[in-house]
Amino acid sequence: MDLLQLRYFQAVAYRGHLSQAAADLRIAQPSLSRAIARLEADLGVPLFERAGRGLRLNHFGATFLRRVDRALRELDDARQELVDLAGLDHGRVAVASETLLTLTGLMSAFRAEYPGVELRLYQSSAETMAQQLCAGEVDLCFASQPLLQPGLQTRELLREEVLLAVPSTHRLARRKRVRMADLADEPMVTTRPGYWPRTLADRLFAEAGLEPNYSCESDEPGATGQLIASGLGIGLVPDVARQSVKSGAAVGLRLDVPDCSRTLSVVRRADTYLSAAAQRLTEFATDYFAA
């Protein structure tokens, strides 16, 4: 077996699908299939079993993946340590977040301070972020909800109130505070499951014993305020987005419920080497959001 086969195996193991893994690796699917077949022949055991149109690790594959993850992580860490020894100007940081709009100011300021650091950004749901961290695809995640995966280390950056945004012509627009009962049957602008506004909205409606009317769902939490201002419904926005809500087309109201807030945290793997560039970005983000 060779290093390339191991990386191919790891990609298929985490994607659970040959075509998706081939797209990620930017190789042809038949080439990936042959590489996996050669690896299984070298090992003398099958590593996958069919699961519909996808693939699922069998007992041999799950055992092998744990060792492959450890070996590849050690090699990646060794490479990164050499990069760090060469200086911060040669560093690179891969970052994932539920919305990149939250990070625009931070990343702009960081790049101005450290122009030699290469930044790679991904927009991902909470589940995908946890997978990316565990697979070593990203160094840091900026998450607005807990990432449910063991072995992750979290540092809180910001805790802020979440407001209910409504169009300025809405019947609730003149109020200062509203109750969850006031939102019954109201068309709600939110995100798809997996993003923090949807998780928070689901919890608030469930606690109030109400059935939400989600009329508009997107994959970009940062677009919620604009969609509400366009008159498509009402929805939850963080206090940091108050300026976009104050555009005149929408207003922000306080919900009369406990713990209507979001906590922005930076998350990393606790058991892996963190590059000098990633450490510097973590400290920079801590100071940035504190200010």
What pLDDT is stored for residue 263 in this prediction?
Answer: 94
Tokens at residue 83, please? 């990069």
Neighbouring-strand partners of residue 269: 152
Q: Is the pLDDT of residue 159 over 90?
A: yes
Question: Domain boundary at 17, 47, 70, which?
Answer: 70
The CATH number of whichever domain residue 53 belongs to comes to 1.10.10.10
What pLDDT is stored for residue 281 in this prediction?
Answer: 95
What pLDDT is stored for residue 77 in this prediction?
Answer: 80
Q: Is the pLDDT of residue 133 over 60?
A: yes
Bridge pairing between strands 54-57 and 92-97: unpaired
Same domain, residue pair 166 and 252: yes
C-alpha torsion 60→66→67→68, nearest 10:
90
Question: What is the residue range of 46's domain?
Answer: 3-70
> Any idea what DSSP says for residue 222?
G
Same domain, residue pair 151 and 224: no
Same domain, residue pair 209 and 225: yes
Q: Is the pLDDT of residue 243 over 60?
A: no
Are the C-beta atoms of residues 92 and 118 closer than 8 Å to each other?
yes
Residue type, position 79, single letter: R
Beta strand segments in the chain, E: 48-51, 54-57, 92-97, 118-123, 140-143, 152-167, 177-178, 187-191, 213-218, 235-238, 250-255, 261-269
- Residue among 55, 33, 106, 119 nearest 266 (CA): 106
Query: Cα–Cα distance between 138 and 120 in angstroms, integer?
Result: 9
Q: Is the pLDDT of residue 216 over 90?
A: yes
* Cβ neighbours around 114 below 10 Å, total: 17
* Secondary structure (3-state) at 27: coil
What pLDDT is stored for residue 240 in this prediction?
Answer: 67
Q: Is the pLDDT of residue 120 over 60?
A: yes
Same domain, residue pair 140 and 188: no
What pLDDT is stored for residue 54 in this prediction?
Answer: 86
- For the segment 20-50, what is each residue's pLDDT rounded down to a tens digit? 999 989 999 999 999 999 999 999 999 999 8
What pLDDT is stored for residue 87 in this prediction?
Answer: 64
The pLDDT confidence band at residue 241, using thresholds 50, 70 and 90, is: low
What pLDDT is stored for residue 149 in this prediction?
Answer: 84
Average pLDDT over residues 95-111: 92
Same domain, residue pair 58 and 97: no
Same domain, residue pair 140 and 281: yes
Q: What percent of the chain has pLDDT over 70?
A: 95
What pLDDT is stored for residue 59 in this prediction?
Answer: 94
| Average pLDDT score over the chain | 90
Residue type, position 132, single letter: Q
Phi, psi of 151 (to 5 degrees): 85, 15
Same domain, residue pair 208 and 254: yes
Are the C-beta atoms of residues 226 and 241 closer than 8 Å to each other?
no
Q: Is the pLDDT of residue 104 over 60?
A: yes
- For the segment 164-208, what is each residue's pLDDT rounded down to a tens digit? 999 999 999 999 899 999 999 999 999 999 999 999 999 999 999
> Any idea what DSSP says for residue 164?
E
Tokens at residue 9, please? 């195996």
Q: Is the pLDDT of residue 257 over 70?
A: yes
What pLDDT is stored for residue 89 in this prediction?
Answer: 67
The pLDDT confidence band at residue 86, using thresholds 50, 70 and 90, is: low
Query: In the structure, how many helices (H) and strands (E) does the chain have?
Result: 10, 12
* Secondary structure (3-state) at 266: strand
- How buried is 154 (Cβ within 10 angstroms: 0-12 exposed, 13-18 middle, 19+ buried)? middle
- For the segment 269-282, what is each residue's pLDDT rounded down to a tens digit? 998 888 888 999 99
Same domain, residue pair 7 and 58: yes
Tokens at residue 57, please? 């690790």
* Domain count within the chain: 3
Q: Which residue has the higher pLDDT, 81 or 59?
A: 59
Q: Is the pLDDT of residue 246 over 60?
A: no
The CATH number of whichever domain residue 114 belongs to comes to 3.40.190.10
What pLDDT is stored for residue 242 in this prediction?
Answer: 58
What pLDDT is stored for residue 85 in this prediction?
Answer: 66
The pLDDT confidence band at residue 92, using thresholds 50, 70 and 90, is: confident
